[in-house]
Amino acid sequence: CTAFELNPLGVISSGALLIGCTADSAAAILAALHDANITAARIGTVRPPSFGLQLRRDGHLTPLPTFSVDEITRLFA
């Protein structure tokens, strides 16, 4: 992404799977995926809609960026 000046948050994520679950079941799901040799990690928390979509980096919250088209399309424009 750096070489092409693309934002990785806006690039196609083919093959990615996002699982929504309760906090109580996260550890068991991660353990089962690990046992199946599937790399997985907890990446977020569901918050009230009023919180909005936020990204935490270095302890700071910023609004999650939006993209009208996939960043990859910029390579072909």
Percentage of the chain surpassing pLDDT 90?
A: 74
Query: Which residue spans within 1-77 are E strands per DSSP?
Result: 54-57, 60-63
3 band by pLDDT with thresholds 50, 70 and 90: very high
CA triple 11-58-66, angle to 5 deg: 30
CB 15 within 8 A of CB 22: no
Q: pLDDT digit string (tens) for 33-60?
A: 999 999 999 999 999 999 999 999 899 9
Question: How is the chain split into domains, by residue range?
Answer: 8-76
Average pLDDT, rounded, for the chain: 92
